[in-house]
Amino acid sequence: MLNEGGVILLSSDRVSCFRAELESDRSGRSLMLPSEKPAGRALVCAGSEARGGLRSSEPPAPRPRPARPALRTLLSLPVLQRNAPLLSHAALSGARSHPDGARVWVQERGQLHPSTVSTCADGSLVFTSDYGQVLSLQGALSRERVQLMHSSSVNGVEDMSSLSELHEAAIMLNLHQRYQRDCIYTNIGSILAALNPYKRIAGLYDAAAVELYSRHRLGSCPPTSSPSPTSATAACGNGTTASAGESGAGKTESTKLLLQFLSVMSQNSAGTPPTERTTHVEKAIVQSSPIMEAFGNAKTVYNNNSSRFGKFILLHFSQSGNIQGGCVVDYLLEKNRVVRQNPGERNYHIFYALLAGADHDHRELYFLSEPESYHYLTQSGCVRDKSLDDKQLFDSVMEALTVMEFREEEIRDVFKLLSAVLQMGNIEFMTAGGAQITTKGVVSVVSELLGLDWFQLSEVLTQRSLILRGEEICSPLTVEQAVDSRDSVAMALYAQCFSWIIMRINQKIKGKDNFKSIGILDIFGFENFEVNRFEQFNINYANEKLQEYFNKHIFSLEQLEYNREGISWEAIDWMDNAECLDLIEKKLGMLALINEESRFPKGTDSTLLEKLHSRHATNPYYVKPRVADHQFGIRHYAGEVLYDVRGILEKNRDTFRDDILNMLKDSRQDFIYDLFERVGSRSSEETLKMGTARRKPTVSSQFRDSLHSLMAS
């Protein structure tokens, strides 16, 4: 059940005080907050007003500048609101003289700066902020300009619900101080904030630490990613931890740490016979991570290990707390990355790993060469990355495949397919009465790797075959259309191979599911690139949906509970993104228009853009650019994003010609045939039933239905 957990992520590229420290680490850029629904009930009040049923008689403290979306959410968390004690007027104004070394908050240009006081000879005050800025103030200083810092902010706290000063600057200072001491985890009640989980700290995740945290309840030990038994074992009931936020936040890294901890807890669970304490399911669950990362992650401009798909991992536990089985559900693999990437990005890790790790015999068997010789790997201008060890990744994948009991024949078939995909990108065309292939040797290699007929492959790449009134009609393709056909084959091969790998993982970890379960949602982070396309539109839609979930379960349902209990409380000012979601998914919303235009044979990206502008230009969450003639925008909860309309309809249709599908089903290799055996043709799907045409659902409609199903599960 998703109502047992949630996640907030704050990106450090929006928090300047952490930027310098994070630049020296791996690409972790966030504060991640895997959470449970706060326990207990209490009075919730906003701002500097009453807590515990009392209202302050003093004037309110200066209002801080508007918080960033994620920080606004964090600041209004009920657990923070109800636990923060009042800072008295005397505490704020008692140190009028501001002695040397005093810790204060200095208001400058709408921001509060944590600073230390030093007095100059001329009587002016110089303040040195914790982030290196020097501020000099003269004359009488008002309480609104300089405030004495409370001891909880001076010393820092493990649990931010005990902070006496509730504003953005205090939260940032506490996290900054702890990060400098290698305390990357901080509690907010039952919520855990993880700042840069990529940072390796000795002893933090070793066996002794796991043993310690597995035997203590939440709050009795310093914060760490290891959940307490009350939240990490099936004894507390079904639950889910959801990870969401900007790309590069560390969601996947935290997911791996959580899986490792749950695996160890499972092996050490009380009442489990010693013979069951090291099960194949636990090993398989842990070892599935490097496989899914290799095939589903890639380097982007934000992150050198960005998840290009979403996954929901469900673990089933026995009554004694032992993992009995599990399953993985994947969402929206970014197929387009196989054939093109943005400048400075890379294709999926597995391609580079295979080229770096294959020995001489396998290089000959798979017709492999150097990465620089493949169009699908070189077009972005980034082939190698010093922060990534492709050879080491290959070794990890091979070890994981062995643990997961992939047969040698299966591994060979997968690597042949990967090589064929790379070779597909090197097929080139010229115009001579239609598209003609100029690299026939490459076609021969692809045919051998995939078990296809050379002539049939050449035909489907250069001409379209249609069945009209029982007669086959062939028409030549242009060079541009031939390139699209080539790319569609490469994307289909990789996508089907990825689905097959997830299926094999599920076969290995499948087990009993008759007691309790814990779900872990690791989904793509919010993205805003220089050019944002259909993939970013869906990814950010998913993040809007997760934000709505968080709002509902942390704010709306909590406040309804207060009303049922008859508690007097003051409404929290939190960011509601319901109207933004209405723009995207309601009737005649953006998704409906995209799907409608995808159904029209004459629908184009330009006609789609016209309809979007016409229908939604007056919506406050819709952006109609003044200059760009191929963009539209959305004001998301995390910021405004402009999307490029070009290619949206084609990607949404996800068309795959019947003649290409039939060719792949004719493969001499059982592996290729099995991948496409159950893929239906367009002609068979467009049959009439009850007076309406049954057509293949669009990519966006499938993704929307998956999201709704996930939120309801």
Q: Which of 153, 303, 396, 488 is catalytic?
A: 303
Q: DSSP 3-state assignment of 194?
A: strand
Residue 29 confidence (pLDDT) above 70: no
Q: Which of 129, 252, 266, 347 is catalytic?
A: 252
Average pLDDT value for residue range 544-569: 79
Does 245 count as an annotated binding residue? yes
Does 101 count as an annotated binding residue? no
Q: In whole numbers, what is the pLDDT of the chain averaged over residues?
A: 79
Q: Which of 76, 186, 306, 419 is catalytic?
A: 306
527 is catalytic: yes
pLDDT value, residue 47:
26
Of residues 502, 589, 588, 499, the one with CA closest to residue 544: 589
Average pLDDT value for residue range 268-290: 72
Average pLDDT value for residue range 332-342: 93
Go through 412-444 and write b for each residue having 16 or more CB atoms within 10 A of its CB, e for each that does not: ebbbbbbbbbbbbbbbebeeeeebbbeeeebbe
Per-residue pLDDT band for 224 (boundaries 50, 70, 90) equals: low
| DSSP letter for each residue of 640-696 | EEEEE-TTHHHHHHT---HHHHHHHHT-SSHHHHHHHTTPPPHHHHS-EETTEE--P
E strand or H helix that includes residue 116: strand 111-119
pLDDT value, residue 525:
83
Compare 551 and 687 and report the one with higher pLDDT: 551
Handedness of CA 694, 698, 699, 702 (dihedral sign): negative
Does 249 count as an annotated binding residue? yes
Angstrom distance (rounded) from CA 132 to CA 154: 17
Compare 388 and 566 and report the one with higher pLDDT: 388
pLDDT value, residue 124:
74
Strand partners, 430: 436
Contact 10, 71 (CB under 8 A): yes
Can you read off the two tokens belonging to residue 416? 């042949």
pLDDT value, residue 490:
96
56 is catalytic: no
Residue 217 confidence (pLDDT) above 80: no
Report which DSSP code applies to 386: T
Residue 278 confidence (pLDDT) above 80: no
Q: Which of 4, 165, 253, 527 is catalytic?
A: 527
Per-residue pLDDT band for 222 (boundaries 50, 70, 90) equals: confident
E strand or H helix that includes residue 229: helix 229-232
Q: Which of 307, 426, 447, 667 is catalytic?
A: 307
Judged by average pLDDT, the poorest of 162-166, 623-627, 690-694 is 690-694
CA 691 to chain centre: 41
439 is catalytic: no
pLDDT value, residue 460:
93
Contact 112, 104 (CB under 8 A): no
Does 607 count as an annotated binding residue? no
Per-residue pLDDT band for 226 (boundaries 50, 70, 90) equals: low
Q: Which of 28, 156, 248, 511 is catalytic?
A: 248
pLDDT value, residue 441:
96
Per DSSP bridges, beta strands 239-243 and 516-522 are parallel
Average pLDDT value for residue range 367-392: 95
Judged by average pLDDT, the poorest of 244-258, 269-283, 332-346 is 269-283
Judged by average pLDDT, the poorest of 345-359, 594-608, 647-661, 678-692 is 678-692
E strand or H helix that includes residue 431: strand 429-431
The total number of residues shown for the chain amounts to 713
Q: Please compute, for residue 158, the number of CA atoms within 13 A of its CA located in the half-sphere on the CB side.
A: 8
Q: Which of 254, 296, 525, 698 is catalytic?
A: 525
Residue 123: left (phi > 0), alpha (psi -120 to 50), or beta?
Answer: left
Average pLDDT value for residue range 360-381: 96
pLDDT value, residue 598:
93
321 is catalytic: no
Angstrom distance (rounded) from CA 224 to CA 201: 11
Can you read off the two tokens belonging to residue 463? 């001409």
Residue 28 confidence (pLDDT) above 70: no
Residue 30 confidence (pLDDT) above 90: no
Q: How many helices (H) and strands (E) does the chain have?
A: 28, 24
pLDDT value, residue 103:
92
Residue 634 confidence (pLDDT) above 60: yes
Contact 116, 126 (CB under 8 A): no
pLDDT value, residue 57:
31
Does 691 count as an annotated binding residue? no
Go through 148-181 and write b for each residue having 16 or more CB atoms within 10 A of its CB, e for each that does not: bbbebbeebbebbbebbbbbbbbbbbbbbbbbee
Does 67 count as an annotated binding residue? no
Can you read off the two tokens belonging to residue 39? 């326990």
Residue 342 confidence (pLDDT) above 80: yes
Report for 99-113, 527-541, 669-683: range of highest mean pLDDT: 527-541
Q: Which of 247, 289, 300, 551 is catalytic?
A: 247
Q: DSSP 3-state assignment of 455?
A: helix
Residue 252 confidence (pLDDT) above 90: no
Report for 276-290, 413-427, 533-547: range of highest mean pLDDT: 413-427
307 is catalytic: yes
Q: DSSP 3-state assignment of 148?
A: strand
The per-residue pLDDT for range 503-553, each reduced to its tens digit, is 999 999 987 776 788 888 888 888 898 899 999 999 999 999 988 887 777
Quick one: 390 exposed, middle or buried, by C-beta within 10 A (0-12, 13-18, 19+)? buried
Which residue is it, tokens 């207060």? 562
The contacts of residue 500 (CB under 8 Å, 6+ apart) are: 674, 675
525 is catalytic: yes
Strands (E), 499-542: 516-522
Angstrom distance (rounded) from CA 386 to CA 364: 27
Does 250 count as an annotated binding residue? yes
Residue percentage of the chain with pLDDT more than 70: 76
Which residue is it, tokens 């929307």? 704
Average pLDDT value for residue range 13-34: 35
The per-residue pLDDT for range 44-91, each reduced to its tens digit, is 222 222 222 222 233 333 333 333 444 555 555 555 554 544 333 333
pLDDT value, residue 629:
85
Does 242 count as an annotated binding residue? no
Residue 572 confidence (pLDDT) above 70: no
6 is catalytic: no
- Residue 373: CB atoms within 10 A of its CB come to 13
Report for 19-28, 267-276, 278-287, 426-435: range of highest mean pLDDT: 426-435
Residue 677 confidence (pLDDT) above 70: yes
The per-residue pLDDT for range 138-196, each reduced to its tens digit, is 766 777 788 899 999 999 999 888 898 888 899 999 999 999 999 888 887 767 778 88
pLDDT value, residue 10:
36
What interhelical angle do 479-509 and 658-665 show, nearest 10? 50
Residue 649 confidence (pLDDT) above 90: yes
306 is catalytic: yes
pLDDT value, residue 234:
35
State the SS3 of 43-74: CCCCCCCCECCECCCCCCCCCCCCCCHHHHHH
